[in-house]
Structure 1
Amino acid sequence: MNTKKQFTEVEFGQQKVKVPKGGYYDRFRMNPNLDEVAQDPAAGNIDFFRKIPKQMVVSRVGPVWAPNFYYRTSNVQVLMLAPLKQLRKKLPAPLEPLQAFPGFGLVAVTFFTYAVCDNDPYNEASVAIVIRKPNAKGLNALELLNSIRQRHFYAHVLALPVDTEIARVRGVYGYQLPKWLTEINVDINPTNIYADLKDTSGQLDLSLSTQTPELKHVKSESRMNEATMLHQVDNKWHQTHVQSNTLAFAQKLLPRNVKLVRHGGPVSQLLDELGASKILRLDVVQDAQVVLNLPKVL
């Protein structure tokens, strides 16, 4: 029996990309029939997405359907302290790191797995600096408290490797994000969490392992999180807004049993250059629904 996945070639902007034959991208081209998606047992309850109409919008690669829907996602994130002077070296002006403690800001390292989404399953890793809101005035401490309370953070992403070509092409040409193609593994199960990232030659770059904290299960839309990425697209500042409907999660302050090991690849080197050190918080999202909007000019 041949269980090998079959692929078909599609066009995205000027790029030709292979995607799984009969997969979501092949069938729906980013404009899914939600009644059909609802029949996919892997997608779960998708009522949340019915309130968000997709629109054909103009993008730098031509007209595309947006926003992008992620019906089933999980992620594990460590929030780390890093010296402000190191963070400023990596941030383009006028972005400013958000100060968490005197002399220190925050770096978030996240591993994502997207089990069911408009552009087919893939994994992603991210290194981002938590930054101040555009035109923010007032104390860093108040801004940080507001961000925690509202569950809305601003960030500048420095690295965003992915493990499928359609995810890379969409991220690079649609959003001008720092994406490249490499091997990424993410396993979030009820007892343990393991994630790793290889460099482009197949050597281990970064790995994370920990025990799964006790998860809380909540009602749909009772715990919404937002993140706004600030980045340049064609030399103009843009913001890309991400909404998450979290369904099962856990959070641990000053976690003791997290092993984040740098094996010396480009992402490990980036964390060294940022001076990222102590892990302040571990966040585990075992189930969430995510909406990714197209970048808007600031």
Structure 2
Amino acid sequence: MNHGTIAASAGPGLNAVASHALAEPTRIDLAGHKVPVVNGGLYDRFRSNPPLSAIAKEAPDIDLSWFRQLKKERVDIGFESYSPNFYYSNSRVTAIFTADLDRLKALMPAKVLEQVQPLQVWPGRGLVALTAYTYRYCDNDAYNEIGLSVVTNRPGASSFGPFTLLGQSMSNDYWGYVLKLPVDTELARVRGVVGYNLPKWLTEIRYTETETSVVVEIFDSETKKLDMTLETRRLSDLSSKETLVTNSFTNVDRQGRPTTGHSISRQLSHASSSSAESVRLTLGDGSLSTYIKALKLGRLVKYEYVPEFQGALYAPKPL
């Protein structure tokens, strides 16, 4: 597959923000880790609590009306932070595949399985969601992220397989268990591992767009070679109807206690498809590809193309 060379656009109102990335990084102490951050960037200046007036000044084209309705609270998540964390301008693509149900259960901790179960869409088959995010402007600066999650029921609720999935889809309230979550900045890695109990590691991720597709390349953290490519269509039948979507996750904290966290996305431009031609996943020989191959992925159930959304990520709490 020839991807060519594609320049990623900074997005409306972000030219001044992008100039921060040209400066030499500065190092801060975060939960005992020496973490490089963008010199003069949002995190360097505000530590997850920038005033919206500063955001409006730097990126005047971004609509901040939704964030003005949300209240940040100071939290201790292994370091002092503020919840929710704000994501002002972002894009994502998500591909939902069937996968081997027994393998999914085997990868989930026993304490999590006591609370939630993978959804069984038909005998022996569950679901995984593979999502590529590009956060162009957020409280902890710009970065890319790849999420691989098991789709589950809500804690304490019965699972009725495809009917539960339909109910989550109709209410835009999804539940899952995160299997893998590589990122491409050390700040995002440390915050995710220490603060949110998430399986993050640092590696190179390229999120680019052509006139017809979104191309995401994930490199192996050890060999530095291209490991996996996710290529998806840029759908043309975009809806501009504002939609709020909640994604909740369960996991286990450092003390072995089950916890839950969630994010809310304000989708400003979005479309979906069930056509298998919408997604092409190419796996290599690296650690992430090897892991995904063991899941025995099957048919594509749904593809979501969300070229513009905003987000609020809430700190996890005991379940």
SS in 2 for 1:30: coil
Alignment correspondent of 2:9: none
TM-superposed CA distance for 1:102, in Å, is 2.9
User: Residue 218 of structure 1 is aligned with which of 240, 252, 260?
Assistant: 240
Alignment correspondent of 1:132: 153
User: Residue 146 of structure 1 is aligned with which of 153, 163, 167?
Assistant: 167
User: Is the strand fraction higher in 1 or 2?
Assistant: 1
Q: Deviations over 1:156-191 (max 9, x none)?
A: 111100000100010111112111100001124552
Alignment correspondent of 1:35: 53
Alignment correspondent of 1:98: 119
Checking the alignment, whether the CA contact within 8 Å between 1:67 and 1:291 is kept in structure 2 is yes
**Aligned CA-pair RMSD:** 1.6
User: Residue 227 of structure 1 is aligned with which of 244, 247, 253?
Assistant: 247
Higher mean displacement: 124-133 or 140-149:
140-149
Alignment correspondent of 1:25: 43
Checking the alignment, whether the CA contact within 8 Å between 1:37 and 1:43 is kept in structure 2 is no
Runs of at least 5 residues in structure 2 that lack an aligned partner in the other structure = 1-20
d(CA) in 2 for partners of 1:152, 1:75:
17
TM-superposed CA distance for 1:217, in Å, is 3.9
User: Residue 28 of structure 2 is aligned with which of 10, 13, 19?
Assistant: 10
SS in 2 for 1:294: strand
Checking the alignment, whether the CA contact within 8 Å between 2:117 and 2:159 is kept in structure 1 is no
Checking the alignment, whether the CA contact within 8 Å between 2:93 and 2:232 is kept in structure 1 is no
Alignment correspondent of 1:249: 270
Runs of at least 5 residues in structure 1 that lack an aligned partner in the other structure = none
TM-superposed CA distance for 1:140, in Å, is 2.3
Checking the alignment, whether the CA contact within 8 Å between 1:252 and 1:283 is kept in structure 2 is yes
User: Residue 279 of structure 2 is aligned with which of 252, 258, 262?
Assistant: 258
Checking the alignment, whether the CA contact within 8 Å between 1:253 and 1:281 is kept in structure 2 is yes
Q: Deviations over 1:188-238 (max 9, x none)?
A: 45522100100012111110113311142424xx31111101110120000
User: Residue 102 of structure 2 is aligned with which of 59, 62, 85?
Assistant: 85
d(CA) in 1 for partners of 2:139, 2:311:
11
Q: Deviations over 1:75-109 (max 9, x none)?
A: 11110011212211212222411112232110111
Q: Which amino acid aligns with 2:109?
A: P
d(CA) in 1 for partners of 2:82, 2:55:
16
Normalising by structure 1, report the TM-score: 0.93
User: When the two structures are aligned, how many residues end up with a matched partner?
Assistant: 293
Q: Which amino acid aligns with 1:74?
A: S
Checking the alignment, whether the CA contact within 8 Å between 2:278 and 2:303 is kept in structure 1 is no
d(CA) in 1 for partners of 2:22, 2:259:
40
TM-superposed CA distance for 1:130, in Å, is 0.4
Alignment correspondent of 1:193: 214
Q: Which amino acid aligns with 2:224?
A: G
Structure 1 residues 122 and 42 mapped into 2: Cα distance closer, same or farther (>3 Å)?
A: farther
Q: Percent identity of the aligned residues?
A: 34
Checking the alignment, whether the CA contact within 8 Å between 1:43 and 1:72 is kept in structure 2 is no
SS in 2 for 1:39: helix
SS in 2 for 1:22: coil
Checking the alignment, whether the CA contact within 8 Å between 1:80 and 1:107 is kept in structure 2 is yes
